[in-house]
Chains A and B, each alone.
Chain A
Amino acid sequence: MKRDALVTAVTEIILKHVPEEREDSSLESMVADLVRFIEPLTADSSAEPTGRRLVITAIGRDQVGIIHAFSGILAERNVDILDVNQTILRGNFAMMMIVDPAASNVSFQELKEAMKSRAEELGVKVYVQYEDLMRAVSRI
């Protein structure tokens, strides 16, 4: 929560409970103390980045069952598929998926490894990455 919003919220709560005859300066220091106490508790701790989606791109020889193969791996690992698209790119098949790994039971590395092994079996190339790069390049 942004600091300004926190200060406003705390001030409102205090004013709700405290009689209006109180001096302003003590109100200020009350708010200051409370904000100082609360702020560190609401600080984001960024270990695993949350709320970021993955972009999975597979390119290779067109064959039956590519989307099925990859979506199977994702389903096993509880990765939610948000969007799927495919196209033919100069005779090659290109599959693009946007997925949400938030509820997944495996790490990014494990998921990437699993996708890569499957890709090797199928003779296609697969790229598994967070959406950051696409977002950086395509969105202001």
Chain B
Amino acid sequence: MSYTKKEILETIRMTELEHFDVRTVTMGINLLDCGHEDPVEVGRRVSEKLTRLASKLPSTVEEIAERIGIRVANKRLAITPVALISTRPTPDAYVTIARAVDRAAEEMGFDFVGGYSALVHAGMTKADEALISSIPETLSSTERLCSSVNAGSSRTGLNMDAILKVVHAIKETAYRTRDRGSIGCAKFVVFANAVEDNPFMAGAFHGTGLEECVVHVGVSGPGVVCQAIKRAGTCDLRELSSVVKSTSFKLMRVGELVGRDVAEKLDVPFGVVDLSLAPTPELGDSVGEVLEAMGLQRTGACGTTAALALLTDAMKKGGVMGASQVGGLSGAFIPVSEDANMITAVREGALSLEKMEAMTSVCSVGLDMVAVPGDTPESTLAGFIADELAIGVINHKTTAVRVIPAYGAGVGDTVSFGGLLGEAPVMELKNLSCEKFVGRGGRIPPPITSLKN
């Protein structure tokens, strides 16, 4: 049994020309058993456990990647939401733990660890409040920690009290990292319906329903999808969907292969493959470009939401056949700063936050890597976040916001983060107050559609 010339060259083309790589191999680790009254002891236990379970991951992944001929862009860690680790519930306790995690990750060669998180979709415990208060300190004084807060769910509604605490933390983080473009905010996400097995940063955490240790794979490949669409020429929408489906199947198969091999080699359970079209600032690696290849003059034109709906759905359908277990977010990401094409669209005035909000109702996640003016009031940010989370809560999907109120910057400025995080043009938010609305506090009740029993 051999392979045809076409099959071999197609695979080489995907990996060498179309920027296809496995975006991340993420190990999720349970830290619930590291609790102790003294956070320094927690830090020690966490460090020991992370090192024991994860130290071989980077080299194992490299070895497997080398043998099968695929690049793995990142190796990452996801941990139990830190607010759930039992300890003295004060902000500095959690910062202590964060520092221990950061050090351990640095020694092992991981660039990001997700899970400095709290799940507060119905209410906040003392621990949750303390952790949220500590976010600015942690994100400005550590390199690798990524943080998230789940502030809404279709089952419990939208926790406005949590959102109000979160926006305060976001603005404080922006201020504390103001000398680096408020980059701290690029490591924080607020969710509705957060998933427990997302391998991508900044929203990854190791959910409490999962096992001790697990390996997930995140695959992407907007470049591959884009080229496949271009090759398909002027086909109708059904055929276009088919092209995306079969491409997505192939991408997913690679994720399955890598995940299975890594898990087997490390003798750890294999979790999920998350196929999310996630762009990078590199040329030819853009989701915006995919939308344009589908026939839009520019991302943001009329038809964008429909095109994205087709794309996200076709990705899921093709992906489902390709992997033994599909999970995470699986769909399309639209992070502004990480997509050369989206940045252009914003600069030209083609893409606004309002249009992006509409797009999030049909794509995987939400308003990602959007920079807004540094002087945006907390109440406006709260309304901004509440809008996005409401879309998720009512429609039983995951939505999220990763917003950067860039300190000292206004509309028209560009904030630069460097590397994978790219650069973002500061976008306009309406200068109208919602303070009286969000200031009421409390919780927006869950939709009646959640009463499914």
Interface residues of A (CB under 8 A from B): 46, 55, 57, 59, 82-83, 85, 87, 89, 94, 96, 98, 108-109, 127-138
Contact = CB atoms under 8 A, between A and B. Distances in A.
A133 B11 contact: yes
A82 B2 contact: yes
Interface in B149-163: none
B264 to A, nearest CB: 8
A53 B16 CA distance: 21
5 contacts: A57-B9, A98-B2, A130-B67, A133-B69, A133-B254
A71 to B, nearest CB: 17
A133 B68 contact: yes
A83 B2 contact: yes
A130 B8 CA distance: 12
Main SS class of interface, A: strand
A130 B7 contact: no
Interface residues of B, number: 24
Nearest to B254: A136
Given A98-B2, A132-B68, A133-B69, A59 B253 contact: no
B257 A132 contact: yes
**Top 5 A-B pairs, shortest CB-CB distance:** A129-B69, A136-B257, A136-B253, A138-B7, A132-B68
Interface string B246-281: 000010011011000100100000000000000000
Interface string B48-74: 000000000000000000111110000
A98 B5 CA distance: 11
A96 B3 CA distance: 10
Interface of B: 2-3, 5, 7-12, 14-16, 66-70, 250, 253-254, 256-257, 261, 264
B-side binding surface: helix, strand, loop or mixed? Answer: helix
A137 B254 contact: yes
Contact of A134 (B11, B261, B264): B11
Contacts of B261: 132
B67 A108 contact: yes
B438 to A, nearest CB: 49
A137 B5 contact: no
A38 B67 CA distance: 33
Contacts of B10: 137-138
A129 B65 CA distance: 9
A85 B11 contact: no
B68 A96 contact: no
B3 A133 contact: no
A94 B6 CA distance: 11
A99 to B, nearest CB: 11
Nearest to A85: B5
Given A59-B12, A137-B11, A87 B5 contact: yes
A96 B69 contact: no
A119 B264 CA distance: 33
Q: Which of A83, A108, A132 has the most chain B CB atoms inside 10 A of its CB?
A: A132
